[in-house]
A and B are shown apart, each in its own frame.
Chain A
Amino acid sequence: MSGEKVIRPDGRNYEDLRDTIRIEAGVLDRADGSAYLEWGTTMKLVKVDKSDGKKVEKWSETWPMIQTVEETKDGILVEFPKPLWHLIDELKSAEEVKEYLRGNKVYVAVYGPREPIPRHEASPYRAILRYRYTMSPFSVPERKSPKPSRRETEISMVSRLALERVLFLEEFPMTMIDVFAEVISADAGTRVAALTAASVALADAGIPMRDIPVALAVGRICTDEDATNCAIVADLNKKEEDMPGAVDMPMVIVPRKEEFTLLQMDGRVTKEELDQILDLGLKKAKELNKIQREALIRKYERVTENE
């Protein structure tokens, strides 16, 4: 690896997860267990006058997520990702307009153990697990047809397989456990966002589990198509997924035993790079696991306060 330094478009360090990851457990009343997750970049919209325009333009060449959204007579509207907010202080004229999340938003509901449908699929040995991953039509830039896609079917399957071993399904013969994940807002890494929330929703439903599985993506971004100058990075966002030579590896990790129950990859990487990717995954899984556990604890704190 040589040449210029690889820079992440939102100004993150290579090993950083996105700046905003929030999980709330027990958000849906009717479901047996549920979770809502937000996972993305908090953007600040700032109004600056023309005198700062040059500065902003130079920055956005380095970090493409600093973007001019609108030009008006009295100035320009620029958005800044959270890791680069410190730059706003260097501007003479900055006036904050608003903040918003550019990222994934997922609702997960868990039902069960309950009577299986269709009944003939029931097993006398274990509960059947169903996992349904879907995306809302308005979650992506081009409206997605509400019909189930091949992509959703595949993701649902690998997600189910990633969770089966972690659950004590053998405790609930002749039943079914349903996990429904709806992505209402998408910005790369939706399957891992859904799975991270699903683990919390399953725990919230009181399903006995060997551990709380963690899902995240680790990958590689480069400055060129031939991948001669690259960096291994955690938690790629949409801008990074679209970079030349990008490689994205979604994974599910069972943190206590450090085992992988989901692994997918497309791209072209060396053995050494793969090694680094898996290592970084294990490292970051611990961090995410903490967020999941805190979400579960918070729910019960809330219950005590209400009483």
Chain B
Amino acid sequence: MIIIASDKALPPNNTSASTDSWYESSARQRVENLLDANSFNEFIGPELRETSPHLPLFDLPEQFDDGMIVGYGRLDGIPVLVAAQEGRFMGGAFGEIHGAKLTGLLRAARDIAWLPVLILFDTGGVRLQEANAGELAIAEIMRALIEARFAGIPVVGLVGGRAGCYGGGGLIAGCCSALAVSEQGRISVSGPEVIETNRGLEEFDSKDRALVWRTMGGKHRRLIGGAEVFADDTVASFRDAARFLIKHAPSMSLEMLEAEQFRLTQRIEQFGTCADAADIWRSLGATKPQSIPALPHPDFVALANDLQEPHYVAR
């Protein structure tokens, strides 16, 4: 009888899981399937029950990990630090514990100075029941993230979850060295309902799904240079994107921010008078902009590469 007890007998990864939808996966499934099998080691896991000290005041249920998973693992053998938000708990919103875990992780990345960081965004922004703590957590995360990048650490963001990447989450994403986004991965500061509530239905109809995807969705973000890689909605595609972007992530310097200043002011000059995303796509050279929302992943990637080279040096 042969007893197989070696790690080598295990498949390198759960191959069936890697074709799973990123959007449909929980934060834990994303982390497990993104990283090499059995390589993830969580910091302050749910067994420690570090729950929000503020939600009980509102009689709201707590979650043992407060909707944020942080830890250490390997991606294709490369050691990485990982953070993942659970969009199905309080919309993935930043509260005191949730945010502090990511702050601690990024401060460690800055001081270790050689471990790349992956952030799996899935968030509606600040958790209003602890709004001041959440807002400050976002400010602290941004500072630690920028300091880590200044120390030469790649911080790569992956956006494709149910809650999208809104509010302060959008600002943190904008600080990352590079981003991969799927079609479902909306990135924006003000959400559709917020714009509609404040400015009226004529400004933005939040019920118009096509308008929401066109204005904030992954395809538009890739086309205007708001994200480097357009990922398919699978764990495997995000895994490939993460591996690629860790290698290509630019560091932070004065020259880098001057290049970004140029990139962004040029964007206002080029597209500042466009009324709709389709107008922007047309001025980028798309001959049939109305067909872009329905384009399958490989066709869109080809078109995007044709219309706009990804910027790897201006973020």
Q: Do A and B come from one complex?
A: no
Binding site for B on A (CB under 8 A): none
Binding site for A on B (CB under 8 A): none
